[in-house]
Amino acid sequence: MVKTLTAADSPRQIAWGFALGMLIGLVPKGNLLAATLGMLLVATRLNLGAAALAAFLFTWIGHGLDPISHRVGLALLENSWLKPLWAWLYGLPLAPWTALNNTVVMGSFALGLAALAPTYFGVRRAASRVLPRIRQRLLKYHIGKVLLGLEIAAGGGSA
């Protein structure tokens, strides 16, 4: 959490990190979809602290949303217009390991995708307003300067 507040990341990086972490947290683990989302997170320059916090929170929230996720996933998988898409998708070599044929995985992924943009914009707005104030307050204290790296940079790094 301290890393998230003191990192030199932009509000955009923090927001995308939180939004992708939310998606990772909602999707049940143990499948190629969750692993791919995790690899996408570490392959990008997003705020990992915000992503870890969101993944932790939304993993717990996701368990409570399983009944809703099941209904959403079932509706998507049984939709007659989408059946050709699912048939094509499962003809691909790695697609069966994504577990998208599981109603909870499909529903959680769909809910996460639907919440991705609102989460990003909400967190970006909050980070733009709150983080400058927090960083300014941290600069008043010696520990804040150390956390922000200013004391080490100015003092030549003496320990």
pLDDT tens, position by position, 68-123: 999 999 999 999 999 999 999 999 999 989 999 999 999 999 999 999 999 999 99
Q: Determine the Cα–Cα distance for residues 97 and 13; give it in Å rounded to an integer.
A: 30
Total tally of structural domains belonging to the chain = 1
In a domain, 23, yes or no: yes
In a domain, 53, yes or no: yes
Q: Determine the Cα–Cα distance for residues 57 and 63; give it in Å rounded to an integer.
A: 11
The count of other CB atoms within 10 Å of the CB of residue 110 is 17
- Name the residue range of residue 19's domain: 2-125
- Does 34 score more than 70 pLDDT? yes
Supply the pTM of this predicted model: 0.79
Least confident piece of the model among 40-54, 74-88, 98-112, 141-155: 141-155
In a domain, 57, yes or no: yes
> What average pLDDT score do residues 2-11 get?
61
In a domain, 150, yes or no: no
In a domain, 100, yes or no: yes
Burial class of residue 80 (count of CB atoms within 10 Å of its CB; 0-12, 13-18, 19+): exposed
In a domain, 135, yes or no: no
- Does 52 score more than 90 pLDDT? yes
